[in-house]
Structure 1
């Protein structure tokens, strides 16, 4: 059993295309199982590198990733002919960036953010579920994960307050 999906449905995509490369989370979205989880994992080194930036720089890169993600996810969805195909994981990358904003960078905090983000992204409490079901296009692909990232960010900040960080 191969780890990466080799599906005819993905034939219109190419990792050589920068838009597809990003939409597929640097290729992590091609995982046969749990592509969203692998997409979030692919965001960890990105977040670690972004932590070297001042807070404003991290915020700007995250904002640009979310805005560009609307185009990236929309274009890739159109190329596939499927709205929010499971291989499109740029929304998870951006959501994890939001989760980890202003958080300490240690394996414990990276793991906590990972678990929180995956929890909110999978469970989709209201209004995340409403966004997922009712908003179309690239904005719809991004919106629920952006909100899951915001929910996770709030939890991370609360934990930091609790632990006096």
Structure 2
């Protein structure tokens, strides 16, 4: 009987699609491959920030998502599993979305053009990992109800959107607390 391959270095290097689906090897982490893939996503976002103009991010995110549906479907089928832990391209693209959207939103609000501050990057990472691991509400629904590459990719995108909402609520609360501590009244 022919068994499906294992998600190991041989599988990783068997095709460029497996290499991408496994986050360039980050998905082979023996401990918390999803976290390793998210860290790889964060690191590549930092590298790409210095290279890509702002207008290039939306097409990159769309291509990363659409391509991810295909490569994750292909790799999961080859492994004979629904959503194998070593496939972390979904975490990579979701982290790109969290960090890019948070930076874009902050720059739009403040008129700034700098890199997203480290505490906000860390908060985005932590919120994404929380929502991806716990899979509350719509994240869990997408994980349970959608199959194939679309299901693999979409639950992480939903977790990214929840992370962005969490960042927005946190920043709003921080702003109001700061205003209250400094005796600044909210304009009515």
Smaller-chain TM-score range? 0.7 to 0.9
Contact 1:36-1:89 within 8 A present in 2 as well: yes
Contact 1:71-1:138 within 8 A present in 2 as well: yes
Cα distance between partner residues in 2 of 1:73 and 1:157: 30
Deviation at 1:163, TM superposition (A): 5.6
Q: TM-score normalized by structure 1?
A: 0.85
Instruction: Name the counterpart of 1:86.
Output: 85
- Any gaps of 5 or more consecutive residues in structure 1? 1-7
Q: Out of 35, 42, 45, which is 2:43 matched to?
A: 45
Cα distance between partner residues in 2 of 1:51 and 1:159: 24
Across the aligned residues of Structure 1 and Structure 2, the Cα RMSD in angstroms comes to 1.9
Instruction: Name the counterpart of 2:150.
Output: 139
- Aligned pairs (5 A) from 1:32-71: 32-52=30-50, 53-71=52-70
Contact 2:29-2:36 within 8 A present in 1 as well: yes
Name the count of aligned residue pairs.
157
Q: Does 1:128 align with 2:139?
A: yes
Cα distance between partner residues in 1 of 2:171 and 2:84: 35
Q: TM-score normalized by structure 2?
A: 0.76
Contact 2:12-2:25 within 8 A present in 1 as well: no
Q: Does 1:112 align with 2:110?
A: no
Q: Deviations over 1:109-163 (max 9, x none)?
A: 2211110100110111111101101111100111100100111122234444556
Runs of 4+ residues over 6 Å off in structure 1: none
Cα distance between partner residues in 1 of 2:55 and 2:44: 16
- Any gaps of 5 or more consecutive residues in structure 2? 104-114, 176-188
Cα distance between partner residues in 2 of 1:118 and 1:90: 14
Contact 2:27-2:87 within 8 A present in 1 as well: yes
Cα distance between partner residues in 1 of 2:117 and 2:143: 31
Instruction: Name the counterpart of 1:28.
Output: 26
Q: Deviations over 1:73-127 (max 9, x none)?
A: 0011111111211100111111111111242433222211110100110111111
